[in-house]
Amino acid sequence: MNFNERLKQLRQKNKLTQGELAAILGLKPTAISNYESKRNEPSFERLIALSKHFDVSCDYLLGVSDTYLPIGGEVLDKDIVEFFNIYQQLKPENTHDLKGYARYLLYRQEHPEIEKDTFLF
């Protein structure tokens, strides 16, 4: 996926119109349309502003990488980073419960024939 597709995907995922995103970044209303249709490319400054707004790396935005954020030399997906941050805030007894629930979800995923309400916590 290249820049124009990534930009459109991120904009739509965040439920923004082209005009709204342009206003957030201080651009003319047609700027985002021009980026998405490959008529123009953003300056480095605008690329950085877009990556900060969507909380993704420039590599992700440019299509160089399929992962959102570089962390400690390793590149991790944004959802993994968010999950890790939440996990770190939990008390030990709650991390035990979270691991149990994650195992339950994996089991359900591997056994779709089992109804959701079969297991109660």
What is the predicted pLDDT for the residue at 17?
95
Asked whether the beta carbons of 68 and 62 are under 8 A apart, the reply is no
81 assigned to some structural domain: no
Structural domain count, the chain: 2
Percent of residues, the chain, with pLDDT higher than 70: 83
Domain shared by 95 and 64, yes or no: no
pTM for the model? 0.59
Calculate the average pLDDT of the chain.
Answer: 85
In a domain, 61, yes or no: yes
Do both 7 and 58 map to the same domain?
Answer: yes
pLDDT tens for each residue of 68-100 = 655 555 556 677 777 877 887 788 889 889 999
**Residue 46: pLDDT over 90:** yes
Residue 82 lies in a domain: no
Q: How many CB atoms within 10 Å of residue 21?
A: 23
3-state class of 120 per DSSP?
coil
Q: How far apart are CA 100 and CA 54, in angstroms?
A: 32
What integer pLDDT is reported at residue 83 of this predicted model? 83
Is the residue at 49 inside a domain? Answer: yes
Q: 94 is in which domain, residue-wise?
A: 90-118
In sequence order, which ranges of 16-91 are alpha helices (DSSP H)?
18-25, 30-36, 44-54, 58-62, 78-89
With respect to residue 103, please indicate whether it lies within any of the assigned structural domains.
Answer: yes
